[in-house]
Amino acid sequence: SGTAWIHGRKANCWVHVGAVDSPVSSGDVTSIANDLRQLDPNGNRVDVLGWDFAFDVNERVKQEAQRAGLDFSFQVIPREVLEKKAVEQGDIQFFELGAIGVAITQAPLSRDAGSRGVGGAGGEGKVTLALTDFMVRQDDIPEDVRGHITHWSQMLDYWAVDWDYRGDAFHNQWQSYRTRKDPRIQLSASYEYPAPGNYRVMIKAIDILGNDTTKVVEVTV
């Protein structure tokens, strides 16, 4: 294509392929948009293919792109592309990056904690997360399955929470999943922090196709 960030074109859609060793970031999206304007001032569609994505790409960054008149689609590169047989048989399918909606509520710390000066300005120590939406592109779901889905939660296989995510590995500290005996999935989870502070919480959701979607939120207790 002659640019550093646009790697090809399919029909009326430009394509960017993310690096193997780093996630697609908001800075990458800005660079892709700048290259697109130089290459095709009238173009607005880009498929961004990546092995991994920064947490804010599919929500905040995508919304910013839409406000700028750009249509970005973020799609996960499946590991099957590394299997020669799967490639030869044409069994490779890309799935669009999902998005999780989360509502956060907090309850005040106990009187004992307050008497010790913890959260003295009305701090809140118990945090409850409730899933409010789980978006997966409907075209990715087989038609026979799609016809039986009446609520977004049915697209969720299981989800897990790391209540103190520190930017390294995800630590599964809570999870809810379906079983044959109990196909229902719990849509909220609570945790009481032992000490005040600023915390990052990572939510990891796995859809019925086996794709994982993550979201990081910040809480102050």
| Tens place of pLDDT per residue across the chain (221 aa) | 567 899 999 888 999 999 988 889 889 999 999 999 999 998 899 999 998 888 667 777 777 787 888 898 888 888 778 788 877 777 777 877 778 889 999 987 655 544 333 333 334 689 999 999 988 766 678 888 888 888 989 999 999 999 999 988 899 999 999 888 888 899 999 999 999 999 999 999 998 888 888 888 899 99
Q: Which residues pair with 213 in a beta bridge?
A: 205
Q: What is the DSSP string of 72-114?
A: EEEEEPPGGGG-HHHHHHT----EE--EEEEEEEEEEPPHHHH
- Residue-level pLDDT at 109: 60
Note the pTM of the prediction, 2 decimals: 0.65
In angstroms, rounded to a whole number, what is the distance separating the alpha carbons of residues 53 and 181?
35
In angstroms, rounded to a whole number, what is the distance separating the alpha carbons of residues 111 and 106?
15
- Residue-level pLDDT at 105: 94
- Residue-level pLDDT at 124: 64
- Residue-level pLDDT at 121: 34
In angstroms, rounded to a whole number, what is the distance separating the alpha carbons of residues 102 and 127?
12
- Residue-level pLDDT at 1: 55
**Helix residue ranges per DSSP H, 90-206:** 111-115, 143-146
**Residues counted in the chain:** 221
If one counts every other C-beta atom within 10 angstroms of the C-beta of residue 51, the result is 17
The type of residue at 100 is: I
- Residue-level pLDDT at 138: 65
